[in-house]
Structure 1
Amino acid sequence: MANDANTQATSVIGWHHDADAAFAQARATARPVFLYWGARWCPPCNRLKAAVLSQPGFATLASSFVPLHIDGDAPGAQRAADRLQLRSYPTLVLYRPDGAEITRLPCELTGPGFLHLLQLALAAPFTASASLQAALSGRRALSADEWRLLAWYSWDTDEGQLLAGRDLGATLASLHAACDEPASALRLAWHALHASVSAKAAPDQHAASAMLLRTLADPQAVLAQVDLVSGYAVDLVRGLTLPQSAPRLALTVAWSDALIQLESCGALSPDDQLSALRVRVRMARLGSPVAGLEASLRERAGAALAEAQEPALRHQVLNTAAGMLADAGLLDDAGALLHAALASSLAPFYFMHNLASVAKKRGDTAAMLDWYERAWEQSSGPATRLQWGATFLLALLEATPADAGRIGAACGALLPEVEGMLDANCRRNGTQLSRMLNKLSGWKGASEKVEELKISLSEHVKR
């Protein structure tokens, strides 16, 4: 049955919500399947809805594929995610009519850039897997479009589908070495470097910093790699340079200059501009000072929110703005912004989590726990309620391990929710069960309700 994916997304597209029905139609009509896996409360999902899924260009392309939207809280969604290897919200996958994956698409890329990449994927004569095999083996030369699809592959939502047991860093390094398309080679080099740093490997720091500095000095390259310039900044600076060193100062200054370019780039959305400013705030902690920081942050947050009135985009912008203010230590401003958002937010319980984080930064444990509890109480959807409940329980165990009464009460309330889930051990749900079981197994207190939940969690995890 086809329905709208979300009230914030275009009503022109007839989204399927049942994977079996969508793939059956794909086989019958010889059309590929475009899958969007997400959740109503997820800020990047809302950014995607506003910047891609609700746009006329996407609706035009939708006639060439079968659109499938699986909400993580829908009945059986986590079981479907097990079968389709989905986890992170959002995940975007394009399948052939026979169900074979063509590629996984990056949610960070929006607007015309995303539509162009989707068009390339729809027309691709080879799957990403076939292109990867050819690139690594050298059996044939890849086209520029194949290289672009590999360079823009969503490696962070791969779930082992393309890598198939290969080491991420080594695979990306091999692809970079083989790539003869300059723009794709540069992106693969950034991916490979980040994977190496994340794995605590030891890249050539001088060569790596030189490559980064060349990119950051090129305005066109910065704009082409906006997601990586913002997303990899702190990890790469920390991983490649020592605190208070000359190389760190040089890299943070160059990076901050590139971020300033993005903050005022008219080609980017208000949220992308604000995200660049948030990264510059975080970079300031690494050695690059920001003059007039407080006034600038308040002004930019207010301007971005004034512009972002569409509900889905506003949800994402609120999240970015509050995070930016909190990162800068402006906790009163962040708290006020979040409090004001609760009444009109499409998912107020999500911002209660943010308020818990603000309280934690203040050192206010009681307020932190209260916000986590309120978020759980007001959340909706089985997978979301399990995640929010697990977060509250883990916070209790971490912050107040001696409070057996409150911990027991939380376990007692979680037990029927776990027992009532048909897919409690599947995908994201299974992750939450394991988190709770691991933490409860090390708890030194005594509670009958805790023991009951531990037994239930153990039984579900073993299935």
Structure 2
Amino acid sequence: MSKSLFPCLLLLMLMISLGCQRQSADSNKDAQAANHLADHTFESTAENTAENGHKDGIHWLKGDVDAAFAIAAREHKLILLYWGAVWCPPCNQLKATLFKDRDFIAKTRLLVPVYLDGDTANAQQLGEKFNISGYPTLILLKPEGEEITRIPGGMDLSQYEAVLELAIQMQRPVRVIVAEFRAGKTLSDKDFRLLALYSWDQDRGSVLSENEASALLLSLYQACPETQSIDKSRLFAQWWSMRLEELDEQSEAGDDSANSGKTGEPAPAPQISAEEHERVYRGLSKILDNPELIRNNLDLVLYGAGDTFEYLFPAPDNESGTAELLQAWNQALADIRLDQSLSLAERLAPLYAQIQFQNLNTDEQDMTASPELMADIRNTIATIRSKISNRYEHSAVVNLAVYLLSLSGQNQEAGKLLEAELKNAASPYYLMLDLAETAKELGHEEDALQWMKRAYNEAAEGPTRFQWGVYYLRSLADLQPDNETDIETLVSELFAILQSRDDAFYNRNQRSVQRMAKILTRWNEDKAHAAALSRIQLKANNLCNTWKAEPEGENYQRCETFAEELDKNSSEKKGAVQD
């Protein structure tokens, strides 16, 4: 969301002063960085100082990563890199809570905070360099570029201050700590603390090797001392969350295998061992019995309920312990709803777990809710909306509210809420995607296409507009497959967006390009649009020529791969491709 920009003059003058005083061989680089800052402003996380409630917010250096590293080297500080986007609801949740917290802001004064918006020039190439993709991501880096840690969301505010303090004190990368653990070295209490506060689900291979995620976290959880109850509970919760993902992947693979057979019946859900069952039951019971542990593991408590019960109690009526754990979980959810110290979105989220409890072993698209729960959802949303105090809260709350209404089978209510909130949204094009999906669910295909087209046309420039355009392409291909004129026109516009970017085939852009290839392949799977796809493929070849003079870069090679995929599928019979 757009934010007011205002200079932090005192800090700026101090940096320029320090740069001018240096006479070493590195002085030119530092002076250039300081002078470069004179042409920029620091960005506060608050829209204005009145909203923030105190004099200044976080002094983000907006977009200039090179300048941030130069300053960090000169002042011997760590870098706090925040990767986000103005439309991203979890990013706006951070802005409404963490980035306005007085103690967290004070800790950032000991760092060099830099905000890298995914739509800024070359941002996706930088994102790939730092191995980050999903918004939001928070990383602490040394001045020479080595990563210390990745900071997860969903923690108690005090834990964010703790992880900054630990990183500043220890200067020990999580990667090094894990390597020492693998080698059999005994870890310190602080080591376990930093590992418990690491964002394992955003690791992306920075620390974890392929296929070892849950096994490593299980070992860390088991090795963590009992005296560190919060850290041990967090390691347990993150292990179990990753284990749930593994079980879901096994279940989906089993379903695919069964559907390819003669019966087409769903495969039985993967089973966990008695030992694992006991470990999970004990770990969850400890968390649910302790309000402090609940607060420090909100993600699991709020969003892991359904999957946990499906794998822990596949036949709940015949399993001992089901009622006790369900009662404890429901009590935790009730307490969260009443906890005024939590954010509005966090107090709304327990309704998601309650929907899951009413739909165990049900696919998400088939979920519904009892009339009583539907009414509770509507009433709670109305109460929470009345308490929204800024547009960052607005984004986080409305996004979750729409999801809850849709998930509980109240699509018409979801559509009404979206249309009512469009005028209040700082990034209305984000809500338009939900309006398109809601219209499609209600069978209003023309409305769905119009909302999707409008979302694309109004989206922010850059990777976001390209991503929204690919969403629109998917809708056109699904709902109006014979409308070759609009499809080809849209593809040409999307190619023009790529052609304007130095990071055209990097990171999130590359993922959108791969999605586009799948959409076009599926669109032409029966060869009804072979001629149109051939024309698109020729345009792709011309697009690739943009970077032909720079063959050492990733843009040319990845563009060539994309064009070759289109060429192959414009002339060969292919099976269905899942997008």
Task: Please give the TM-score of this superposition, normalised by the length of structure 2.
Answer: 0.74
**1:203 aligned to which of 272, 275, 278:** 272
Residues 57-66 or 5-14, more deviating: 5-14
2:536 aligns with 450
Go from structure 1 to structure 2 and tell me whether the alpha carbon gap of 1:218 and 1:108 turns closer, same or farther (over 3 Å shift).
closer
Residues 20-169 of structure 1 aligned to structure 2 (within 5 Å): 20-109=66-155, 111-143=157-189, 145-165=190-210, 167-169=212-214
Deviation at 1:428, TM superposition (A): 0.6
2:298 aligns with 226
Deviations 1:128-165 (A, max 9, x none): 1222122232223322x321221121112212112254
Deviations 1:392-417 (A, max 9, x none): 11232234434333322322322211
Letter in 1 for 2:388: A
Query: Are 1:280 and 2:354 counterparts?
Result: yes
Q: Distance in 1 between matches of 2:305 and 2:454?
A: 34
1:391 aligns with 471
Deviations 1:198-239 (A, max 9, x none): 123653263255233443344333223112211322333334
Contact in 2 for aligned 1:52/1:110 (Cα 8 Å)? no
**2:229 aligned to which of 177, 182, 199:** 182
Query: Are 1:436 and 2:516 counterparts?
Result: yes
- Please list every run of 5 or more consecutive structure 1 residues that lacks an aligned counterpart in the other structure: none
Q: Distance in 1 between matches of 2:308 and 2:485?
A: 44
Q: Distance in 1 between matches of 2:285 and 2:480?
A: 46
Go from structure 1 to structure 2 and tell me whether the alpha carbon gap of 1:452 and 1:306 turns closer, same or farther (over 3 Å shift).
farther
Contact in 2 for aligned 1:282/1:327 (Cα 8 Å)? no
Deviation at 1:195, TM superposition (A): 1.7
1:362 aligns with 442
Task: Please give the TM-score of this superposition, normalised by the length of structure 1.
Answer: 0.92
Q: Distance in 1 between matches of 2:99 and 2:135?
A: 15
Deviation at 1:127, TM superposition (A): 1.9
Structural RMSD (CA): 2.6
1:8 aligns with 47
Go from structure 1 to structure 2 and tell me whether the alpha carbon gap of 1:185 and 1:58 turns closer, same or farther (over 3 Å shift).
closer
Contact in 2 for aligned 1:45/1:90 (Cα 8 Å)? yes
Residues 248-259 of structure 1 aligned to structure 2 (within 5 Å): 250=323, 252=326, 254-259=328-333
Letter in 1 for 2:314: L
Contact in 2 for aligned 1:134/1:142 (Cα 8 Å)? no
2:288 aligns with 216
Deviation at 1:368, TM superposition (A): 2.2
1:261 aligns with 335
- Please list every run of 5 or more consecutive structure 2 residues that lacks an aligned counterpart in the other structure: 1-36, 251-270, 362-367, 545-555, 562-579
Letter in 1 for 2:277: H
Contact in 2 for aligned 1:274/1:300 (Cα 8 Å)? yes
Letter in 2 for 1:238: E
2:548 aligns with none
Go from structure 1 to structure 2 and tell me whether the alpha carbon gap of 1:240 and 1:452 turns closer, same or farther (over 3 Å shift).
farther
2:218 aligns with 173
Query: Are 1:191 and 2:263 counterparts?
Result: no
Residues 40-49 or 158-167, more deviating: 158-167
Deviation at 1:19, TM superposition (A): 0.9
2:567 aligns with none
Go from structure 1 to structure 2 and tell me whether the alpha carbon gap of 1:330 and 1:165 turns closer, same or farther (over 3 Å shift).
closer
Letter in 2 for 1:203: I
Deviations 1:421-447 (A, max 9, x none): 221111111110111112213432242
Q: Distance in 1 between matches of 2:353 and 2:229?
A: 27
Deviation at 1:191, TM superposition (A): 1.9
User: Aligned to 2:308, what secondary structure does the other structure show?
Assistant: helix
Go from structure 1 to structure 2 and tell me whether the alpha carbon gap of 1:293 and 1:5 turns closer, same or farther (over 3 Å shift).
same
How many residue pairs get matched?
Answer: 462
Go from structure 1 to structure 2 and tell me whether the alpha carbon gap of 1:249 and 1:326 turns closer, same or farther (over 3 Å shift).
farther
Q: Distance in 2 between matches of 1:77 and 1:358?
A: 32
Go from structure 1 to structure 2 and tell me whether the alpha carbon gap of 1:439 and 1:332 turns closer, same or farther (over 3 Å shift).
closer
Letter in 1 for 2:304: Y
User: Aligned to 1:64, what secondary structure does the other structure show?
Assistant: coil
Deviations 1:355-403 (A, max 9, x none): 1221232233332222221111110120100110111112322344343
Go from structure 1 to structure 2 and tell me whether the alpha carbon gap of 1:269 and 1:218 turns closer, same or farther (over 3 Å shift).
same
Go from structure 1 to structure 2 and tell me whether the alpha carbon gap of 1:319 and 1:449 turns closer, same or farther (over 3 Å shift).
farther
1:338 aligns with 418
Q: Distance in 2 between matches of 1:393 and 1:315?
A: 25
1:325 aligns with 405
Deviation at 1:55, TM superposition (A): 2.8
Q: Distance in 1 between matches of 2:492 and 2:160?
A: 46
Residues 267-276 or 214-223, more deviating: 214-223
Deviation at 1:173, TM superposition (A): 1.4
Deviation at 1:20, TM superposition (A): 0.9
Deviation at 1:104, TM superposition (A): 0.4
Go from structure 1 to structure 2 and tell me whether the alpha carbon gap of 1:462 and 1:368 turns closer, same or farther (over 3 Å shift).
same
Q: Distance in 2 between matches of 1:112 and 1:383?
A: 34
Q: Distance in 2 between matches of 1:366 and 1:337?
A: 20
